[in-house]
């Protein structure tokens, strides 16, 4: 099927290379029975892709159902998906079929799959592997033939590291990944989409469609659109209804875009969200390195001062009052200070010779090897020798922990 005919059939607007690539993958995998994971930010239209895949597949005449995993309470999601027997839990007055039973032969779209509880993930993995499931409160294994499409707007590998998503389920769902690009990466499509939405709203509200000036188009194209296509549609509706003139300029359009000044700033690549991927152990090591660097800088500073190689005139002492009366005289281990001269511009410390430091003890206390060994010992003691739990607590794989135990000779 040609890409242009797919766009016309399903109302896809735009010609961005990233969008075309996602549609090409969807069209290619649609005739198969492969599980597909659709990723992308909220509001980019992931559900539209699931409908495209279903409607051009061999299952197009069978049922299609969309399930938002984040909208179903954790206590009832198993019953919703797999069904339950009468009396399986409080309130289960009748036997009930789940979605996987009622949609047998069709397609089920699991939106926000990252919100699915761990227990339900295990049930879903079994169904994907061999098509088998068991109702809640039953011991009878049932069969079903359902194609599963899943979507998420979160980073599943990150959830895997946090223990909130099963790694085996991720690879089972991610047989063919489809990435739907955010609207800010489809700048060439923004004005076209706005024009389409404005035309639709003019027909809906029986009014003349609004048009944008060139500077207004530039503002729209440079906006980051955190809500993506959904947000653009809302803006188009507001402008269509509330704009005073049907030709909307830059100032008028800016009134309908929230926080436009902050939103048009370049996004930092190293945000706090990205930093949360570091484990506690890595943060601890970084702190140790920073302390070590500070100590080295301090030693170099004192050494240069004692040899007259440091230009103290560059130091600002303007906030220091009555230095002779209130400032304590600095002391150095094993060294005697000859003089402590102060004046308003250039206070100076004169030493007999280079101060000595117990550098070896500092270096040994900051040994990464010893720190790592100590952390492993504490983790094993905390979990009473259970290596799997200790590895999870340390943020490393169980295989890595085995290797470290052998390397540090920690085996009993």
Q: What is the mean pLDDT of residues 392-398?
A: 81
Q: CATH topology for 3-179?
A: Rossmann fold (3.40.50)
Q: What is the mean pLDDT of residues 313-342?
A: 47
Which distant-in-sequence residues (6+ apart) come within 8 Å of 319 by Cβ? none
Q: What is the pTM of this model?
A: 0.63
pLDDT of residue 346: 47
Of 396, 398, 401, whose CA–CA distance to 377 is shortest? 401
pLDDT of residue 285: 65
Whats the size of the chain, residue-wise?
412
Q: Which residues of 302-321 are buried (b: 16+ CB within 10 A; e: fewer)?
A: beeebeeebeeeeeebeeee
Residue 378 has pLDDT above 50, yes or no: yes
**315-326 pLDDT tens trace:** 544 544 444 444
pLDDT of residue 355: 47
**235-258 pLDDT tens trace:** 999 999 999 899 999 999 999 987
pLDDT of residue 101: 95
Q: CATH topology for 367-407?
A: Arc Repressor Mutant, subunit A (1.10.10)
> Which of the two residues, 267 and 45, has the higher pLDDT score?
45
When pLDDT is cut at 50, 70 and 90, the band that residue 278 belongs to is very low
Domain boundaries, the chain: 3-179, 185-263, 280-361, 367-407
What are the distances in angstroms from CA 360 to CA 92, 303, 334, 364, 371? Answer: 70, 18, 17, 6, 16
- For residues 364 and 359, what is the distance between their CA atoms, to the nearest angstrom? 9
Sign (positive/negative) of CA torsion 220, 226, 232, 236? Answer: negative
Q: What secondary structure, in 3-state letters, does 141-203 show? A: EEECCCEEEEEECCCHHHHHHCCCCCHHHHHHHCCEEEECCCHHHCHHHHHHHHHHHHHHHHH
Cβ(111)–Cβ(67) under 8 Å?
Answer: yes
- For residues 12 and 32, what is the distance between their CA atoms, to the nearest angstrom? 22
- For residues 350 and 352, what is the distance between their CA atoms, to the nearest angstrom? 7
When pLDDT is cut at 50, 70 and 90, the band that residue 188 belongs to is very high
Would you call 96 helix, strand, or coil by DSSP?
A: strand
The least confident of 111-115, 223-227, 338-342, 386-390 is 338-342
> Which of the two residues, 310 and 227, has the higher pLDDT score?
227
**115-172 pLDDT tens trace:** 999 999 999 999 999 999 999 999 999 999 999 999 999 999 999 999 999 999 999 9
pLDDT of residue 347: 47
Phi, psi for 48 (deg, rounded to 5) = -60, -40
Name the one residue in this structure whose structure tokens are 């790592």: 372
Cβ(81)–Cβ(123) under 8 Å?
Answer: yes
CATH class of 185-263: mainly alpha
Of 234, 189, 275, whose CA–CA distance to 17 is shortest? 189
The least confident of 34-38, 67-71, 101-105, 371-375 is 371-375
The least confident of 24-33, 35-44, 253-262, 276-285 is 276-285
**195-240 pLDDT tens trace:** 999 999 999 999 999 999 999 999 999 999 999 999 999 999 999 9
């Amino acid at each position: 099927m040609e890409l242009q005919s797919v766009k016309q059939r399903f109302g896809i607007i735009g010609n961005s290379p990233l969008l075309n690539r996602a549609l090409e993958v969807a069209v290619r995998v649609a005739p198969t029975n492969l599980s597909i994971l659709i990723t992308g930010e909220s509001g980019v239209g992931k559900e539209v892709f699931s409908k495209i895949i279903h409607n051009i597949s061999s299952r197009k005449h069978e049922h299609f159902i969309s399930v938002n995993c984040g909208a179903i309470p954790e206590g009832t999601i198993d019953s919703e998906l797999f069904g339950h027997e009468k009396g399986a839990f409080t309130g289960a007055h009748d036997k009930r079929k789940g979605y996987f039973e009622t949609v047998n032969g069709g397609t089920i779209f699991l939106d926000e799959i990252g919100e699915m509880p761990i227990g339900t993930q295990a049930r879903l993995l079994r169904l994907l592997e061999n098509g088998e499931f068991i109702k809640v409160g039953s011991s009878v294994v049932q069969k079903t033939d359902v194609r599963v499409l899943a979507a998420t707007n979160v980073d599943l590998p990150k959830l895997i590291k946090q223990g909130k998503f099963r790694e085996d389920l991720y690879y089972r769902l991610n047989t063919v990944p489809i990435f739907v690009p955010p609207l800010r990466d489809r700048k060439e499509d923004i004005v076209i989409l706005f024009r389409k939405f404005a035309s639709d709203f003019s027909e809906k509200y029986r009014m003349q469609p609004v048009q944008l000036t060139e500077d207004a188009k530039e503002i729209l194209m440079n906006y980051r659109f955190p809500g993506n296509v959904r947000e653009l549609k809302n803006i188009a509706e507001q402008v269509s209804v509330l704009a005073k003139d049907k030709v909307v300029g830059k100032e008028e359009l800016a009134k309908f875009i929230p926080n436009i000044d902050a939103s048009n700033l370049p996004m930092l690549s190293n945000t706090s969200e990205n930093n949360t991927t570091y484990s506690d152990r890595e943060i601890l090591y970084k702190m140790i390195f920073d302390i070590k660097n500070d100590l080295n800088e301090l030693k170099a500073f004192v050494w240069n001062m004692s040899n007259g190689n440091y230009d103290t005139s560059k130091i600002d002492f303007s906030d220091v009052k009555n230095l002779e009366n209130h400032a304590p005289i600095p002391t150095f281990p094993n060294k005697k200070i000859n003089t402590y001269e102060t004046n308003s511009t250039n206070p100076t410390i004169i030493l007999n010779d280079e101060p000595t430091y117990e550098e070896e003890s500092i270096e040994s206390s900051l040994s990464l090897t010893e720190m790592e060994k100590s952390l492993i010992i504490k983790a094993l003691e905390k979990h009473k020798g259970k290596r799997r739990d200790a590895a999870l607590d340390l943020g490393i794989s169980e295989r890595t922990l085995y290797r470290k135990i052998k390397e540090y000779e920690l085996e009993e």
